[in-house]
Structure 1
Amino acid sequence: MFTGIIEEVGKVSKIETYGGNIDYTIQAEIARELKVDQSVAHNGVCLTVVDIEDKSYKVTAIDETLNKTNLKHLKEGDLINLERGMKMNAHLDGHIVQGHVDQVATCERAETKDGSWEFTFSYDPKLMNVTIEKGSITINGVSLTVVNSKLNEFSVAIIPYTYEHTTFRTLKKGDVVNLEFDVIGKYVKRLMEMQSL
């Protein structure tokens, strides 16, 4: 489980493909505190640490993960949002995040406001995921509040701290991001679907 509060922005230093899998080597200060078999969220995708070396560690993404997330678009040198699993005795500063991406979205607009930024995203409505005004959404692992919720589009407002300490500072129109919708909303949606059977 995660909170959507990014600990560090890491750097993809090496990408190795074998079969349907991709190994990503990530340079990050938190590497020294990790251990093999630990879960870390990468742009909101929960991956297992398989190797550690000094200030770098390695994770593997399998075909299933690559097909449902934006990880397949990563290139060596790209920045990536990182968060370790939450501690049960700590504050839940963001919201409950599982690290399971529901679908991807495309950045439609990135607008500078007076002291903040507003990003608008569109996503495929066929998967029946929904946002609600002032509800929670996770974008590339970052816990955010929805504004301007529509059928297949929504916006988020970004404060300077979040902009400077996540990959939002590099995000532009046309970029593909990972979305994890609010888990409580997903359960409510599923219960409503079951009642209509």
Structure 2
Amino acid sequence: MYWTSNIYELFKPILIIQNNMNMEEKLNTINRFILFSGILIALLFNNTKIVAFIIILLLLSIIVYNYYIKNKDNKESFLNTNNLDIINNKLCIAPTKNNPLMNRNVLDNNCKNDIETCTISNKKVKNKIDKILNHSLSNDTYNIYGKNNLFHILYNVPNNNNPNNRDLFMKWLYRDPESCKEEGGIACYNNLHNDLRDNL
């Protein structure tokens, strides 16, 4: 909660930013430090101009906070409208009700062409897929192993990458293999003479 919503956030005795704080807590900590150090300096030097400087800094922090909230909302709305998600700090296509296993579709947006699908081995993605597939099914008392028919009907296609990956295709088609002069390493090692008599 930012200090404009609750003024008592400025009176907490935390003046050092820590790694586990979110953006609001970090801004509150910076504002507390500015406020306490500014009041202390104003009392020591008996100067009222410092109080005006403190107020200007607090107003700037409010502007920074509003900018952060606006960008955060824009980012979340973009991810939600395009069925995207951030998993392991990587942007990927999330499972949806119409496409629970995130297979490529002819009707996909152009923005999804460069983005890969989320890995099914991730626990968060797997739980989301299970929730979507189990939504419309009633539980069977004889189903003791937790298997249902939709897992057998729906499947994830083997190649779920961008089908029009032109650059990768061009590199495969036209690029010469690495030579010893260019890269060295394995190409140079393959050029070394091996005496066949040593293998006997």
TM bin, normalised by shorter chain, reads under 0.3
**When you count helix as a share of all residues, which structure comes out higher?**
2
Question: Higher relative contact order at CA 8 Å, sep ≥6: structure 1 or structure 2?
Answer: 1
TM-score by length of 2: 0.20
**When you count strand as a share of all residues, which structure comes out higher?**
1
